[in-house]
Amino acid sequence: MSWLVDAADLLAEPDPGPTPWLVEGLIVDQALTAVVGKWKTTKSWGMLELGVSIATGRPAFGSAAVAEPGPVVYVIEESGRRALWRRLDMLCRGRGIAPDELRGGLLLAANERVKLDDREWQERLLGLGKRAPRAFIFDPLARMKAPARDESSQTDMAPVIEFLRVLRDETDAAPVFVHHSGHQGEHMRGSSDLESAWESRLAFSRDEETGVVKVKAEHREEESGGLVNYELHHHREARTIRLRPTVLPLAERILEHLQEHGPMGAGELAKAIGTRRADVDRTLAALSQDGTTHRAPSGKRDAVGRPITAKVWHASKQAVLRVVPDSDDTGRSALSGESAGASRPVPPPKGGAVLGRHATQDAEGDLPASANGDGRQRTRAREADDSSSVGAQLEPELGNVPGIAGDVPGTLEEPELVSAEAQLDEAELAAAELQARLRAAE
């Protein structure tokens, strides 16, 4: 087969579809992945968490979905067999995972002197392709090369990087390597080729005062902005470790930001809360269907005093979030793709009754303990707006909707108005989709 392809022939091939994820938002499927951070930023704990999640199909870090689980080869050269046993045992206890659930799914090598630039080791690793692994994890890269190989030399590191590419292509797995960042900045220590080789990149950092770990994801062919924040919760008596998320689910973060900062567009909202625009669009659409958010003009004026008619996203009056246990048949929330048990938005109950407090569940469905592990339930209070009517605010929009004009007095109860407005948004969204199909047909 020729190594060149005509552009017209390429575009004549079937549409491969959207970029697939190995771990949603964090690692693109079959991507050469770099994991970067300073010492003591819990990178090894994070890699063990990812390995267990990919092998079992359970969400990573409590919310990052694994669409297609499968075997993981985890090679660590910083811990011996006993140390690895203790770490894996604590993590599985904390996540409620029985050892048999990992059988055949998580394959381990601890201090086996694996070298990625050694021909014999390369053949062994490539031979594991028959197990159809989803990922190889190498922790750390610096220990998996010949001692004489200078990591700052482009010439010396080129064979190591090239083998990682070969491993990806021959096994259809994602090779993940862990490397320390330099003393200054966030770039990897050593050759600049390491920074140019990755296709997904996870940057680990840890707040020295709070202990909160931040994991920021970047990708070559997918929108960057995936973010995970977690704390290590160690219970000595129970011998458990949990990487417990400290960031609210996306739906909650969106709603809180709109309530605190006022109406704004989806792009501005995605930038403000530090996540991908595609995730924000998907979550806003679900919130709109539930009546928790809606699109309307901002009420602002331009530089010459004219009303700005472009519609932006608003938080609906008395919108709240509460725990709803139902999920789709994949175990993921129909709202945001997070694991079942995460809170999702619901419209206020009929008659205007509003929940003023809600609890957020963790990935296993129990109520999470507080940061010091004392079992106190973590709750967030919301003050409900007790106004009895928003008819006067929404009447101008609703008055233009066929079948509604003249039938919406200013004293309508708020849930009915939110429902009517949600119907209006659905109609607008449907019209936009129809227009897009017509343009595509043309």
Tokens of 381: 């209070």
Task: Say if 19-245 and 250-387 have the same CATH topology.
Answer: no
Task: Give the lowest-confidence range in 45-49, 268-272, 398-402.
Answer: 398-402
CA gap 21, 29 in Å, rounded: 5
Q: What's the mean pLDDT when you consider all of the chain?
A: 78
| C-alpha pair distances (Å), 71 with each of 48, 53, 74, 88, 134 | 13, 10, 10, 16, 6
- Mean pLDDT throughout 328-344? 38
Q: How many CA atoms lie within 13 A of 7 on its CB side?
A: 0
Architecture of domain 250-387: Orthogonal Bundle (1.10)
Task: Tell me the domain boundaries of the chain.
Answer: 19-245, 250-387
**Contact assessment for residue 159 and residue 120, using Cβ atoms and an 8 Å cutoff:** no
With 0.85 as the threshold, say if the pTM is over it. Answer: no
At 101-133, the pLDDT tens digits run: 999 999 999 999 999 999 999 999 999 999 999
- Angle 365-370-371 from CA coordinates, rounded to 5°: 120
Which CATH superfamily includes the segment(s) 19-245? Answer: P-loop containing nucleotide triphosphate hydrolases (3.40.50.300)
pLDDT band at 402 (very low <50, low <70, confident <90, very high): very low
In this predicted structure, the answer to whether residue 250 has a pLDDT above a threshold of 50 is yes
Q: Is the peptide bond before 69 cis (omega within 30 degrees of 0)?
A: no
Contacts of 219 (CB under 8 A, 6+ apart): 19, 28, 31, 199, 200, 201
Question: pLDDT tens, 178-203?
Answer: 999 986 677 899 999 999 999 999 99
* pLDDT at position 187: 86
176: left (phi over 0), alpha (psi -120 to 50) or beta: beta
Residues 160/121, Cβ–Cβ less than 8 Å: no
163: left (phi over 0), alpha (psi -120 to 50) or beta: alpha
The confidence band for 249, taking pLDDT boundaries of 50, 70 and 90, is: confident
Q: Is 350 exposed, middle or buried (0-12, 13-18, 19+ CB in 10 A)?
A: exposed
How far is CA 288 from each of CA 107, 274, 430, rounded to the nearest angstrom?
44, 21, 13
Residue pair 232/215 in contact (Cβ under 8 Å)? The answer is no
Q: What is the pLDDT of residues 340-356, one digit of tens each?
A: 333 334 444 433 333 33
Q: Which is nearest to 339 in space by CA: 351, 328, 355?
A: 328
Q: What is the pLDDT of residues 298-313, one digit of tens each?
A: 888 888 889 888 899 9
CB 284 within 8 A of CB 345: no
| CA distance linking residue 388 with residue 414, whole number of Å | 7
The answer on pLDDT for 379 being more than 90 is no
Task: Please give the helix or strand (H or E) that residue 89 lies within, else none.
Answer: helix 81-95
At residue 103, φ and ψ (nearest 5 deg) are -60, 125
pLDDT at 419 over 90: no
Tell me the H-state helices in 274-322: 277-289
The more confidently predicted of residues 325 and 45 is 45
Q: What percentage of residues in the chain have a pLDDT greater than 90? A: 52
What is the rounded distance in angstroms from the CA atom of residue 383 to the CA atom of residue 356?
A: 6
Between CA 35 and CA 45 the distance in angstroms is 12
The pLDDT-based confidence of 439 (bands split at 50, 70, 90) is low
Pick the residue with more confidence: 318 or 169? 169
